[in-house]
Every structure is written in C-alpha cells, then in structure tokens.
Amino acid sequence: MHITVAGKQVSTSDALRAHVEEGLGTITNKYFDHALEARVTFSKAAKGAGTFACDINIHAGRGLVMRGEGQGADAHRAFDVAAEHVAKRLRRYRRRVNEHARGQASEREAAGVAREYVVHAEEDLADEATPIESADHPAVVAEDTRDVHMLTVGEATMRLDLEGLAVLVFRNRASEAINVVYRRQDGHIGWIDPSA
C-alpha cells in the first residue's frame, strides 16, 4: 500500500511517518489486505490552541474510500484517534463491506457518472478577481465527476458512513431510479426515493 503523509503548516518527522505506516499497516492487514493507497494529512486544529488534527483517507478498492478524523495534543495522538475512528467503522461494517466488495465486480457495468459542483456565495469570494453580480446567482468555482453506483439502500448508507460524506447519490438496485441518502441535522440518515 502506498502511504502519503503530509502536513498543512505542520512539519512531519520521520518518527511520525514510521508511526503512521505502522498504524495503517496494522489496520489494513487486519481488515483490508488489498488496500491501494492512504493519504494522511496533519494540521493545526481549528479549536483549541496547541492541538493537532489528523485526516486519514484510505482507498481500499474500486469505489471504496474510508475516512477518519481525529484531534489530539500532539500529532501522534491525533493520528491514533483518527486511526481508531477508521478501525471502529471497519469493525462495525466488516461483514457488509466484504459482501459489498464481492458484489462490486458484477456492478461495474451498472455504474454511471454524475457531475458535482461546488458553489460559493458572494461573501466567500470577496477576494476573487471576478465579482459576482448578485447573491441570487452564485458562481460555480469547482466541478468534479463521480460514479453513480447501483446499490441497495443499506449499501449506500454504509458508504455514506464509511466515507464520512454528507450526501450520496446512487442508483437504487430495486427500482433502478436515482436515489439520495444524506445525513440529517439530528444525526439520522435520510433517504430520498423519487420513484416511491
């Protein structure tokens, strides 16, 4: 597995890199021996002076990304918290992830592509060279494409949780219609099925 360790305004030592490689090696060997790559980013935490934040993104296979976040008094502790976050998700969904990975090969032809846009309001772009005419028409500042997989609602909910997403668009395996699962403000999962 290829591991990238980076710091945002934080220096990463060889000891920290070794700690990350050992920790991720333990997790991936236990749960995902076929993991492809991992990106670990350290930064100063927004809350609390002198605390560090760690963000882990593991690409464990085609279309399967896991994310974990953690904070701690030092970079080592922040990584340990984030790694436990990833391991806890994997322990909770281990059986479902394995079943999903086995079914992934038969679903490749059913995946589609959707375009994703990131839109910022006028106050977010005050320092940009191009002013926005009106707050009613915010500018599109980024776009991306995403695969739209054929999933059951349970698999979509699992991916939403594993990847730490707020919203996931998928094609419902039962109805073949585009559906959405999202995390509600009360912490529960919402499901939008326009075919119902």
Secondary structure (3-state) at 109: helix
| Residue 75 placed within a domain | yes
63 conformational bin, left if phi > 0, alpha if psi -120 to 50, beta if neither:
left
Instruction: Specify the DSSP element, H or E, that contains 159.
Output: helix 153-162
Judge if 97 and 160 occupy the same domain: no
Spatial contact of 69 and 85, defined as CB atoms under 8 Å apart? yes
The two tokens of residue 196 are 């119902």
81 located within any domain = yes
Same domain, 75 and 155: no
Distances (CA, A) of 126 to 69, 88, 118, 134: 30, 41, 16, 12
Residues 97 and 21 in one domain: yes
Is 143 among the domain residues?
Answer: no
Chosen domain end from 47, 80, 104: 104
Q: Are residues 6 and 100 in the same domain?
A: yes
Return the SS3 of 123. helix
Please state, for a pLDDT cut of 90, what percent of the chain lies above it: 21
- Distance between CA atoms of 105 and 71, rounded to whole angstroms? 37
Residue 7 lies in a domain: yes
| pLDDT for the residue 147 | 82
Same domain, 38 and 100: yes
The predicted structure's pLDDT at residue 91 = 77
34 in a domain, yes or no?
yes
Identify whether the C-beta of residue 68 lies closer than 8 Å to the C-beta of residue 83.
Answer: yes
C-alpha span between 63 and 108 (Å, rounded): 10
Number of domains within the chain: 2
Range of the domain at 175: 149-196
pLDDT of amino acid 160: 87
Determine the pLDDT at residue 49. 64
* Residue 190 is assigned to a structural domain of this protein: yes
Q: Look at 4 and 107; give whichever has higher pLDDT.
A: 4
Q: Are residues 12 and 96 in the same domain?
A: yes
Average pLDDT in the 122-138 region? 51
Last residue of a domain, one of 71, 104, 137: 104
Does this model's pTM top 0.75? Answer: no
Residue 117 lies in a domain: no
Q: What pLDDT shows up at residue 115?
A: 60
Are residues 91 and 107 in contact, defined by beta-carbon separation less than 8 angstroms?
Answer: no
pLDDT score of 29: 77
Question: Which of 138 and 70 is assigned the larger pLDDT?
Answer: 70
Does any domain span residue 125?
A: no
Round to whole Å and give the CA distance between 122 and 100: 42
CATH code, 7: 3.30.160.100
Helical segments of 11-137, H only: 14-31, 75-107
**Euclidean distance between CA atoms 189 and 159, whole angstroms:** 12
